[in-house]
Structure 1
Amino acid sequence: MPVHNSEIASKFDHLADLLEIKDANEFRVRAYRNAANTIRDQSRSIASMVKEGDDLSELPDIGDDLAGKITTIVRTGKFPLLEEVAEDMDEAIVDATRIPGIGPKRAKALFDMLDLSSLDDLEDAAEEGEIADVSGFGEKTQARIKKELKQGDITEQRFHLDTAEDFAEPLIAYIREIDGVEKAEIAGSYRRRKETVGDLDILVAGQDGGAIIDAFVAYDEVDEVESKGKTRSTVTLRSGINVDLRVIPEESWGAAIHYFTGSKKHNVAGRRRAQDRGLKLNEYGLYEEKSRVGGATEDEVYDAIGLPWIDPVLREDRGEIEAAEEGDLPDLVTLDDIRGDLHSHTTASDGKHSLRQMAEAAMDRGYKYLAITDHSKSQTQAGGLSADDLERQIDDIAELNDGFNGFRLLAGCEVDILEDGDLDFPDSLLSKLDLVVASIHSKLDLDEEAQTDRIIRAMDSPEVNIIGHPTGRMLEKRRPYPLDMERLIEAAADRGCALELNANPNRLDLSDIHCRQAAELGVRIAISTDAHATGGLGNMRYGVDQARRGWLNRKDVLNTLSWHNLSRALKRS
């Protein structure tokens, strides 16, 4: 049974969380987190590397001990150390770590100080005002915990798009090879490329539904079969993802894929248009009175309701119906439009590969440029560069560029925005760079006005080209810090400063809505991976998906430009 990279990384992350709860040595905790990131960044399958006898200890942050643990996971599917550490762990504390902003240490502190034993106890403590009295928490944190616990079940598992893809793509490839399968697609939020996926909806067109279902439930990653019929089955994969498969006649394909792709609001709007034309539209087809008149293809469905085909990424009932009706759908940016990456790290700070290795990986992707933006000096835990270090790196990049043909490394820096809005380096040094990404990494708890003012003041520097991961969110882990996004976007427009769409699937920051708002005001978006290893450059596709959900076209995206045009666009004067 194959073990996916995301599964191995998840086990290492989970172990790090448990060790942090147990107050283990911080270097040990960091070693497992670094290993998890290395595994996620691999473009190759770790399981394949083990099978082929590759030396895993040669990977960044993976020594002999960790290589042995990874090999055990691949060969047995088990992680004995994780099982040992988890044996006496209070699961309620682990669940509490899923509250955005409440990490392992803080969750443990709350449960110990207040003698809690469940999430219900935690919610009661918030209601009674007890959390605010715990050192290091206060009224704001108490209010946030109360809000998060009331919003829904924080134990409900959702998967980042890259993790869902890791399991979904091998599964759909397997299904397409089943005898009798004519078509098979993943619908739902996965097809719409939403940031996180709760489950997978798979449609299959085929003749012998029973045989197809039998083969589906025999997939080697199925952990539990929840239901099994002649045309529908629901299973849970080993990863925890629920999969719902439906077998439909091919004549209903277009109507069914439209219906199960969603969103619900988009579907409602489509059904209303059908009704206005004397038709009925559902997952089985298009009907005029009781006669079926279409639904074999999505084009047929949209044509019947007077619209051109609408890309699934736009189907959120945010004006796409009206735009389609007026012939004004956007010509969405594509991965092929991307000419380079404007945010990456090397071993000079907290990256895992050298300048040359990052450059070669970018060239392998057909890029014309890559910006090296290692951290500035305040990021001591990330190995931030001193002013002298940055000066030397500028020289090193210039020397490397002398040997490149048709490719350019850009000398940049991810410079910290300090609490008062000042930058970590003076403009006199930043002016020597090709590109400056200014980001917040500390003081995330400032109020909305102060945080917004802080970023706007940073943009006042003419050397700042891009605001990195502007809202600071980490999907499923950390909410965006309070910001007046309308004012921030307007300030960026006034100053000619771009905003980053951080393509790391743990961030995808900006949101699709904010991307669209920025583009409408003429603010260019830089889709950047924030890659800390060569494999991280492959995350660009998730950023492009997010940009497409935000209605962005090629002209809205900074790094669709050639280096000649980009260099001109970066000049703010």
Structure 2
Amino acid sequence: MPVHNSEIAAMFDHVADLLEVQSANRFRVRAYRNAANTIRDQSRPMARMVEEGADLSQLPDIGDDLAGKITEIVRTGHLELLDELSEDVPEAIVEATRIPGVGPKRARALFEELDLKSLDDLRQAAEQGRIADVKGFGERTQAKIREELAEGDITERRFRLDTAEDFAEPLVAYVRRIDGVQKAEIAGSYRRRKETVGDLDILAAGEDGGAIIDRFVEYDEVDKVVSKGKTRSTVTLRAGLNVDLRVVPEASWGAAMHYFTGSKAHNVAGRRRAQDRSLKLNEYGLYDGETRISGATEEGVYEGIGLPWIEPVLRENRGEIEAAEKGELPDLIKPDDIRGDLHAHTTASDGRNSLLEMAEAAMERGYGYLAITDHSRSQTQAGGLSADKLEAQIDEIAELNEGFEGFRLLASCEVDILENGDLDFPDKLLARLDLVVASVHSKFNLGEEAQTDRIIRAMDNPAVSIIGHPTGRLLGQRRAYPVDMERLIEAAGERGCVLELNANPNRLDLSDIQCRMAVERGVKIAISTDAHATGGLAHMRYGVDQARRGWLSADDVANTLDWSDLEKMLKRG
């Protein structure tokens, strides 16, 4: 039973969570966080590397101790340190740290002071007004905790798209190898490339559903068989991911793919069009009375209701039906349209590879350029560069560029936007850069107006080319800080600023809706990976998926341009 990279990374992240609650040495906590990121960025399975006897200690941020722990997880499925820490720290305290404004120390203090055992206890304490009496909290914090717990998403189990992929692709490959399966695909929100996935819907075409289901439930990562029938089964994988398998005849394949891909709202709109034509559309086919007139292919289903085939990423009932009817569906951006990456880090700050290694990895991807955007001086915890170090890096990049042909490293910096909207470096230094990515990394608790004003003031500086991860969210970990996106987008358009779609699957910031809002107002988007290692450059495809969900074409995206054209576009003032 192989252990996935995402499972090992999750264990290391959990260790870091527990250590934080215990107020452990911050460098030890960071070591586990960095190791988790390294593991996620590996294209090769760690389990295979262990089997082959690879020296894991040579990987970035993985020394002898952590290499041993990876080997332990691969061989046993467990980590003794995690088991020990879990005995000392209730899981509910870790869950409470996901509430904005409640960090590890405050969560532990709250649970100990009020003798809480669970999030239900915390919810009850908030409703009873007991949290406000705890030193360091108060009425505002109590109200915020009550509001967050009422929304119910603190413990909701959803998987990031990259994590879901780690389990989904091997599983559907297994289903395809089952005797009698003619074809199999993943449907649902996974096929629509939503940023998080609650469960997986797999469709298989075949005649003997019972035999196929029997083999499906034997998959070695199945932890629990929830239900098992002749054409459908639900299982829970050991990672906690629920999977539904439905076996359909080939004659119904297209109708079933349409139905189970969703979204629900898109399907409702499709059924209404069928009804308007005196037809009936369901997961088995498109019917005229009792006669199935279509269903084997999705194209046939859409044609039967008077529409061209619609890309799964657009199926959210946000105007795609009307656009399809008018022949106005967008020509969506594709991964091959990307010419370079405009946000990447190196060992000079908190990255795990050198300038040259990052350049070589970008060239291997066929890129014409890569912007090096190490952190600015305020980001001390991320190894932010001093002015002198940035000057030296600019010179080093210029020297490296002399040896490249058909490729250019762009001298840049991810410059902190300070609380008052000023930038972290003086204009004279910023003028030496090819471009500037300006980002918020602190003071997330400013009110919406103040936060919006802060970012707009940063955009007032003509040195700013791109606003990085504009809402600051971390999926499943940190909500977006309050910001008026309509004002921000309008200000970006007026100033000729580009907004970043951060392709890191931990962020995917901007959202699909915000992307569409921006391009409808003429604002260009830069799809950038925020790569902290060579493997992170591969995250570009998640950003492209998000852009496609936002109806973006290649013309809407800044880094589909060659550098000569992009340089002209970024010039301001």
The answer, yes or no, to whether TM exceeds 0.5 is yes
Distance, in Å, in 2 between the alignment partners of 1:273 and 1:384 is 56
Q: How does 1:54-73 map to 2 (within 5 A)?
A: 54-73=54-73
Separation in 1 of the partners of 2:24 and 2:398? Answer: 43
Seen in structure 2, the aligned counterparts of structure 1 residues 132 and 503 have a Cα distance that, compared at 3 Å, is farther
- Deviation of 1:496 (Å): 0.1
CA distance, structure 2, for counterparts of residue 153 and residue 283 of structure 1: 31
Deviation at 1:110, TM superposition (A): 1.8
CA contact (8 A) 1:339 1:368 kept: yes
CA distance in 2, matches of 1:256, 1:203: 8
Which residue of structure 2 aligns with residue 369 of structure 1?
369
How do residues 211-250 of structure 1 correspond to structure 2 at under 5 angstroms? 211-250=211-250
The whole-number CA distance in structure 2 between the counterparts of 1:217 and 1:347 is 45
Match of 1:155 in 2: 155
Counterpart in 1 of 2:466?
466
In structure 1, C-alpha distance between the alignment counterparts of 2:76 and 2:446, rounded to whole Å: 47
Structure 1 regions of 5+ residues with no counterpart?
none
Q: CA deviation at 1:135?
A: 4.5
- Residue equivalent to 1:520: 520
**Is 2:302 aligned against 1:281?**
no
**1:185 CA displacement:** 0.7
Q: Does 1:492 align with 2:500?
A: no
Q: Note closer, same or farther for the CA distance 1:241–1:441 as it changes in structure 2 (3 Å cut).
A: same
Task: Give yes or no for contact 1:101–1:477 (8 Å, CA) kept in 2.
Answer: no
Q: Does 1:443 align with 2:443?
A: yes
* Match of residue 48 from structure 1: 48
Q: Which residue of 1 aligns with 2:502?
A: 502
Q: Give unmatched runs, 5+ long, in structure 2.
A: none
> 1:245 and 1:68 mapped to 2: Cα distance?
37
Over 3 Å counting, the alpha-carbon distance change for 1:93 and 1:489 in structure 2 is same
Matched, 1:333 2:327: no
- Give the deviation of 1:140 after TM superposition: 4.1
Q: Which residue matches 2:546?
A: 546
- 1:555 corresponds to which residue? 555
Check if 1:15 corresponds to 2:3. Answer: no
Q: CA deviation at 1:88?
A: 3.5
Partner of 1:299: 299
User: For residues 343 and 91 of structure 2, what CA distance do their matches in structure 1 show?
Assistant: 38
CA gap 1:368/1:104 in 2 versus in 1, 3 angstroms: same
1:144 is displaced (CA, Å) by 2.7
What is the one-letter code of the residue matched to 1:524?
K
Aligned-partner residue type, residue 121 of structure 1: D
Structure 2 matches for 1:261-276, cutoff 5 A? 261-276=261-276
1:87 alignment partner, SS class: helix
Match of 1:84 in 2: 84
Contact 2:256 2:284 in 1 (8 A): yes
Maintained 8 Å contact 1:101/1:479: no
- Judged with a 3 Å threshold, the aligned counterparts in structure 2 of structure 1 residues 259 and 50 are, in CA distance, closer, same or farther, namely same
Alignment of 1:382 onto 2:405: no
**Which amino acid in 2 is paired with 1:358?**
M
- Contact 1:200/1:242 (8 A) holds in 2: yes
CA deviation after TM superposition for structure 1 residue 259, in Å: 0.5
Residue 409 to residue 133, structure 1, CA distance change in 2 (3 Å): farther
Structure 1 distance, partners of 2:303, 2:248, is 22
Letter of the structure 2 residue corresponding to residue 558 of structure 1: A
Partner residue in 2 for 1:404: 404
CA distance in 1, matches of 2:89, 2:426: 48
Over 3 Å counting, the alpha-carbon distance change for 1:329 and 1:101 in structure 2 is farther
* 2:96 paired residue number: 96
- Cα distance in 2 for partners of 1:80, 1:16 equals 14
8 Å contact from structure 1 (residues 512, 547) kept in 2: yes
Distance 1:359 1:153 in 2: 40
Tell me which amino acid in the other structure corresponds to 1:533.
Answer: A
- Pairwise CA distance, 1:525: 0.4
In structure 2, distance between residues paired with 1:89 and 1:31: 20
Asked whether the 8 Å contact 1:259–1:267 carries over to 2, the reply is yes
The answer to whether the Cα contact below 8 Å between 1:98 and 1:155 also exists between their aligned partners in 2 is no
Matched, 1:345 2:345: yes
Distance 2:317 2:141 in 1: 34
For residue 409 of structure 2, give the secondary structure of its aligned residue in structure 1.
strand
The Cα of 1:124 is off from its aligned counterpart by 2.3
Q: Which amino acid aligns with 1:217?
A: V
Q: How many angstroms does 1:49 deviate by? A: 1.1
SS of structure 2 residue aligned to 1:352: coil
2: CA distance, partners of 1:143 / 1:263: 34
Paired residue for 1:145?
A: 145
| Aligned counterparts of 1:322 and 1:469: Cα–Cα separation in 2 | 31
SS in 2 for 1:224: strand
**Which residue does 1:476 correspond to in 2?**
476
The answer on whether the counterparts of 2:341 and 2:529 sit within 8 Å (CA) in structure 1 is yes
Contact 2:18 2:85 in 1 (8 A): yes
| Rounded Cα–Cα distance in structure 2 between residues aligned with 1:408 and 1:111 | 53
| Aligned-partner Cα distance in 2 for 1:68–1:314 | 45
Report the Cα distance in structure 1 between the residues aligned to 2:446 and 2:94, rounded to whole angstroms: 27
Q: What code does the residue aligned with 1:240 have?
A: G
TM-score, normalization by structure 2 = 0.98
Q: Deviations over 1:492-551 (max 9, x none)?
A: 000000000001111100000000000001100000010011111111111100000000
> Helix, strand or coil: the match of 1:181?
coil
Q: Is the 8 A contact 1:416 1:423 kept in 2?
A: yes
Structure 2 equivalent of residue 109 of structure 1: 109
User: What's the TM-score, normalizing by structure 1?
Assistant: 0.98
Say whether the 8 Å CA contact 2:421–2:456 is kept in structure 1.
Answer: yes
Alpha-carbon shift at residue 292 of structure 1 (Å): 1.5
Output the CA distance in 1 between the equivalents of 2:472 and 2:148: 18
Name the aligned partner's letter for residue 174 of structure 2.
Y
Query: Matched residues in 2 for 1:103 and 1:260: separation?
Result: 39
* Partner SS, residue 363 of structure 1: helix
Sort the Cα spacing of 1:71 and 1:568 in 2 relative to 1 into closer, same or farther, 3 A.
same
Deviation at 1:120, TM superposition (A): 2.0
The separation in 1 between residues aligned to 2:492 and 2:112, in whole angstroms, is 45
> How many positions carry a matched residue from both structures?
573
Q: Distance in 2 between matches of 1:135 and 1:294?
A: 67
Residues 356-385 of structure 1: CA distance to partner in whole angstroms, max 9, x if unpaired? 000001111111100000000000111100
